[in-house]
Structure formats: structure tokens, C-alpha cells
Amino acid sequence: MKRIAVFCGSSNGASNVYIDGAKKLGKALAKHNIALVYGGASVGMMGAVADAVLDEGGQVIGVMPRFLEQREIAHKRLSELIVANSMHERKAKMAELADGFIALPGGPGTLEEFFEIFTWAQLGLHQKPCGLLNINDYFNPLIELFKHMTKEQFLDEKYRSMAIVDDEPSQLLEKFNSFEAPTLKTYSKEKQL
């Protein structure tokens, strides 16, 4: 693992525990010599994880769409800032650069980014690990939804297990190192009588 993309909120959340968790992840990435690829902002959880990596001497690559850069929320201390023309281009570039993906607590945008990359893994478009850093049990409702999807046969167990979950950054990174992608999803029609 040379680079990990982190999806997270541009706000701080309701408790300092979220910012503290983002900083803890940033420090763990730098300690393991893993570069951060993220949305490029200086605010909220995004700014906290980037600052922590930079403060520990690590590398941070921001990928930001032009319209957000023009709103002056781009982080000024990044190792590299890539300006994309659209949100779609931003996500594609982050996926290209990263060897794995971690979602931190965030809103609909964070979940949308995670679900797209998770779906791409299901379809075999990449074989990179996808994880949830479950700070303050934030993702517990989502984990329960995954279980419900599996029970109701909308998500195979082998794909549910692709969502690697931990509440400690270093342990999540260890799980990433032992990740093996499941076999590709296939679509076969049942034999008709």
C-alpha cells in the first residue's frame, strides 16, 4: 500500500471524537509511509486528516474539482493538488491514484463516494480494499443495513465482507494488507424448466 484514498466530511461533526479520529488516521498513514489521497479541502474532517499526515512528514495529494477550488477551500500545504473539471473526474482520479479506500464519518457525499468505489470492487473494476473507520460507532447503522441486504439476498456475503470495518486506524490498515478480493460477480440465468 503506497496510497490510500480517504472519503470524509467537510464538517467537524457533532463531537471532537470525529476530528480526533481523523487525526489518528492521518498519523497512522504517515507512520506506515502511506500517502493520503483525498478531496483537497482544508476544512472539517478533510482538513484534519490532511493536516495530521502533513504534520507527521507524510505526503498528501488533494484532488479537487475546479468549482470548489474557486471557493478557496483548497488546502494550501498539500504535497500536490490536482484540479479536476468535475466531481466525476475527481472520483476517477482518486480511484486511479489509490491502492485502497477508507471512509470516515461524513454525509451523503462521503457515502456516495464509498458506495461507488465499493460497487466497482463488486463488479471487478478494481481489487483494492474498501474500509470503514468506525469512529464513535458512526457506521453501525450502515453495517446493520449491509447485514439486512445480505439476509434479504440483495448482497452476497462474500461482497458484504469486502467492507472492512475497524475502529482503530492501525488495525484497519493491517486488515488492508491481508485483503484478498473475492471472485468476480457473475450473472447467470437459472435453468428454466
Dump pLDDT digits (tens) for 137-172: 999 999 999 999 999 999 998 888 889 999 999 999
Structural contact between residues 49 and 8, judged by C-beta atoms closer than 8 angstroms: yes
Range list of β-strands (E), the chain: 3-7, 35-38, 60-65, 80-84, 101-103, 130-133, 163-166
Q: How far is residue 60's CA from residue 82's CA, in Å, rounded to a whole number?
A: 11
Q: What does the alpha-carbon distance between residue 126 and residue 128 come to, in Å, rounded to a whole number?
A: 6
18-44 core/surface letters (b: 16 or more CB in 10 A; e: else): bbebbbbbbbbbbebebbbbbbbbbeb
Please write the tens of the pLDDT for every residue from 86-131.
Answer: 999 999 999 999 999 999 999 999 999 999 999 999 988 999 999 9
pLDDT digits (tens, 9 = 90+) for 19-51: 999 999 999 999 999 999 999 999 999 999 999
CATH of 3-177 among 3.30.379.10, 3.90.1150.10, 1.20.1530.20, 3.40.50.450: 3.40.50.450
Average confidence score pLDDT of the chain: 92
Its pTM stands at 0.92
CB atoms within 10 A of CB 166: 17
Kind and range of the H or E run holding 68: helix 66-69
Measured between alpha carbons, how far is 169 from 132 in angstroms, rounded to an integer?
10
